[in-house]
A and B are shown apart, each in its own frame.
Chain A
Amino acid sequence: MEPVKIEEVQTLIDRYAGKEVYIHLETTNGSYATHVDEAFFNAGAFIRNAKVTYELGKIIGDSPSRVGLKIELGWIYAQGITHYELDSNKRLIMAGHDHEGKLAVALQISETPFD
């Protein structure tokens, strides 16, 4: 993965607009957050292989950036995106990695289902 370059990521996001795509969206603090610090309120969520079509998608802001995808009846949103990659399966992988190298957020777009 490479650090986000807004224009390049925007071009890639545009490529999937108007197409039926599969989304992986995830945010996490890790399963051990409360074990390590009992005062920490651990929350996270993921959805894998949500099938959507977005009419408009944008990436905004200096890294860590925000990405919003406007779908027919609502939105897909991720905050904290630092890195991206177009992988060998032509999937747009966007993720936010913290200073220790741990993934905090992921938003991935693919024309074929994720494994």
Chain B
Amino acid sequence: MIEKEKHVLVIFPHPDDEAFGVSGTIATHLQMGTGVTYACLTLGEMGRNLGNPPFATRESLPLIRKQELQGAANAMGLTDLRMMGLRDKTVEFEDDEKMVGMMKNLIDDTNPSLVITFYPDYCVHPDHEATARAVVRAVGRIPENQRPKLHCLAFANNTQSELGAPDVIHDVSAVRELKLNTMRAHLSQTAWMLKDLEKRLAQNEPEAIEWVTKERFYNYRFDQGYN
């Protein structure tokens, strides 16, 4: 059962970061009548999947991914999509306080009761890590009794051994098709993966069903010194 929120703010660096682990949760909140804002920091300009034979170039990829991101938002039923204009691979090199300020502005503007991002140190890609650090800093500076909840995605290989089991697991079976449509919207990045996944789903493979229908989050613990 997904708790009813006042407003949900989702912050990730790349188009498609939302699709695999959170799109079911986003779609469910929207169906419950809760507003959801999705701030996507870059357009995934440096993505490597360009095909062979190629379907895009380094220069045409951002336009494709921008359209895919809009398509994913449509698939989830999300209208408040904000593209933040940073460049893929460079998020960690931006000024740290500028990044915190960007997150603070998003929080001030949307007044969320729940913020969703990655878990710092457990999210693998340097852009994920930089985004996560900025978000936990911005949220951590809010007085504790006024802080929104902070749900973080973690998928580094050492996640289970160091963070333990997820604190929150959402069953999104009811919106499974919407979630698959969100993944399908990011076709330039997901085509290969979807081919395999849809085959496994068609065979009712338990692991594949589990992977799609269970979304896992950790409550951020504010114990990593990102102040």
Could you list which residues of chain A lie within 8 angstroms of chain B, going by C-beta atoms?
A: 1, 3, 24, 26, 28, 30-32, 35, 38, 46, 82-83, 85, 87, 89, 91, 93, 95, 97-104, 106, 108, 114-115
Contact = CB atoms under 8 A, between A and B. Distances in A.
A31 B62 CA distance: 18
B59 A31 contact: no
Contacts of B60: 87
Contacts of B166: none
Contact-residue bracket for chain B = 20 to 34
Interface string B129-160: 00000000000000000000000000011000
A108 B157 CA distance: 36
Contacts of B46: 26, 28, 46
Interface of B: 46, 48-54, 57-60, 62, 89, 124-127, 156-157, 192
A108 B62 CA distance: 16
B153 to A, nearest CB: 14
A98 B54 CA distance: 10
B226 to A, nearest CB: 21
A95 B48 contact: no
B44 to A, nearest CB: 11
Given A85-B57, A115-B59, A31 B52 contact: no
Given A85-B57, A108-B59, A114-B59, A103 B50 contact: yes
B125 A103 contact: no
A89 B59 CA distance: 10
Given A93-B59, A103-B58, 20 more contacts: A1-B54, A3-B53, A31-B127, A35-B157, A46-B89, A83-B53, A87-B57, A87-B59, A89-B59, A95-B57, A97-B50, A97-B54, A98-B52, A100-B52, A101-B50, A102-B48, A102-B50, A104-B48, A108-B58, A108-B59
